Amino acid sequence: MKRFFLPPGLFLIASATAQDFETAIDDQVATESEIVTESAPISAPVAAPSDGFPQGTGLSLPPGGEMLRGFKLGLTASAVFDSNVDSGLGGSKNESDLIFTVGPTFTYRAEGGLWSLGASGGLSYASYLDNSDLGGLGYNLGVNFGYSPSRLDLKGSFGTSLTAGNNRNYGGYSETVNYNTAFSASYKWSAKTSFDARFSYRWTDPGDVVSAVGNSFGGTQATTFDLSAMWQATPLIRVGPGVGWSWESGDNQVDRETVGPILRLQYQLARKISLDSTFGMDFVDYAGSGGGDDTAFSTRIGLNYQASQLWGMNLSVYQGTTADGATAGNYRETSSVNLDYHRRIRRANLALGIGYEANDQVSVTGGAVGNGVGDFLIFKASVGMPVFGQRARASTFFDWREEMEGGNGNDDGYQIGVSLSSGF
């Protein structure tokens, strides 16, 4: 039984857009003349399930950290105190540690009359002071493109990453590899009518998890597609019905296929407000001799409100079902709400965020089973500013999580740290 209910809604792409892959590159610093100043509308945040890792420095920042034109290199170093690096494995007391990380980063951006191309990535080497067996080399890489001839608007992205750390989805230390790709197309049929199509694929492998319940975890994958007919109801609102399809599977799960109607709603007010939402009903079919049928609702809502050049807010709402790599044979239904606030204070940028995530496990027969993943209350904060005459950026951040119910281990804890980044 759900403990946390959101409005009915979609299947939307478990999308990996360019916004997903432009990682902490916003720490690279440039003069005002180097920063791209555009009149293009702001984008709504991508509503997606959590990857289970603490947010750390991954908070959304206000305008000023835009990707720069051309090729830019950077170097980032950080020191982080983690109060719980092992989720209380085996019933032991949560173990804390100090983590040092250093690595290079890069960004690339090019634009033509009808097209755009961007890339970002980096390497990071993490060293644990007390747990020398943890840590190692991580990476992230993302590429995105856009092409808009006449009536057609095409966008695509690809990303891959290796992220290491305490992962609440698995109740322990994980070195998780991700691959994501997404494509979207919009064709303008007439002044008020257009047809939109979206496709995405995601593959995740948790690797060798150090967990209290052993290393029985497996990789998962998901493919999604939807097609919708959109009507420009007003100069600011696009709305339209459509149909969505998804397929999910895992090393330890039978296939899960869904199809059903969707409703999309978008609102765009220049660089002030951007809303992108999808709602729908999924008719679910689990494969295999023991598989059953089910009906599910899912929702994705992303809202970006930029009140002024000084402050703004982001809201994301997600409800959906994904393959549970932590529990053989089961799927995970997640409901989450996240609210971020950012403000520029003189030369500094302040970011605050709060979120709640509720999880239920669903068997292949469609019924609810025991909850192997907890419900979490999350708070995050970050302050950053340029230093050394605009040649670098210093920031401090805090990430706190409280496990409200269930879970594979004791995943209460917090991270606090400082970082220094330089672009050249």
User: What tens digit of pLDDT does each residue of 386-395 get?
Assistant: 998 888 999 9
Whether residue 410 has pLDDT greater than 80? no
- More confident position, 27 or 209: 209
Residue 374 within any structural domain of the chain: yes
152 or 113, which is more confident: 152
Give residue-wise pLDDT tens across range 300-314. Answer: 999 999 999 899 999
Q: Is 360 contained in some domain?
A: yes
- Higher pLDDT among residues 373 and 334, named by residue: 334
| Closest by Cα among 108, 110, 82 to 97 | 82
Amino acid 95: pLDDT = 80
d(CA 418, CA 75): 14
Q: Is 0.85 topped by the overall pTM?
A: no
Does 413 or 341 have the greater pLDDT score? 341
Residue 256 CA to residue 247 CA, distance in Å, equals: 6
Taking the C-alpha atoms of residue 415 and residue 366, their distance in angstroms, rounded to an integer, is 37
Residue 212 lies in a domain: yes
* Domains identified in the chain, total number: 1
Q: Please indicate, yes or no, if residue 76 is contained in any of the structural domains.
A: yes
Amino acid at residue number 272? K
Model confidence pLDDT, tens digit, residues 124-177: 999 999 888 888 889 999 999 999 998 999 999 999 999 887 776 776 778 889
199 CB-side CA count, 13 A? 7
* Average pLDDT estimate for 52-79: 63
Q: Is the pLDDT of residue 51 over 50?
A: yes
- Residue 166 located in a structural domain: yes
pLDDT in tens, 252-278: 888 999 999 999 999 998 889 999 999
More reliable by pLDDT, 32 or 180 = 180
pLDDT, position 80: 93
| Mean pLDDT computed over 93-118 | 89
CATH number for the domain including 418?
A: 2.40.160
Residue 214 neighbours by CB distance under 10 Å: 9
| 9 part of a folded domain | no
Lowest mean pLDDT among 79-93, 99-113, 117-131, 227-241: 79-93
* Mean pLDDT confidence for 94-118: 90
- Average pLDDT of span 175-186: 93
Distance (Å, rounded) from C-alpha 370 to C-alpha 389?
55
* φ, ψ dihedrals at 207, nearest 5°: 70, -155
Q: Would the pLDDT of 290 be above 90?
A: no
Q: What is the pLDDT of residue 401?
A: 86
- Residue 187: the pLDDT is 97
In a domain, 11, yes or no: no
Q: Do 100 and 3 form a contact (C-beta atoms < 8 A)? A: no
The pLDDT of residue 48 is 72
The pLDDT assigned to 65 comes to 39
Asked if residue 6 is part of any domain, the answer here is no
Predicted local distance difference test score (pLDDT) of residue 260: 97
pLDDT for the residue numbered 210: 62
Going by pLDDT thresholds of 50, 70 and 90, the confidence category of residue 227 is very high
Burial class (CB in 10 A: 0-12, 13-18, 19+), 238: buried
Rounded to whole angstroms, how far apart are CA atoms 246 and 256? 8
Q: Can you say how many angstroms the Cα of residue 130 is from the centroid of all Cα atoms in its chain?
A: 30
Q: How do strand 392-405 and strand 413-423 relate by DSSP bridges?
A: antiparallel
Calculate the CA 173 to chain-centre distance.
Answer: 19
Q: What is the Cα–Cα distance from 280 to 321, expressed in whole angstroms?
A: 13
Q: Which domain holds residue 56?
A: 18-423
pLDDT at 324: 82
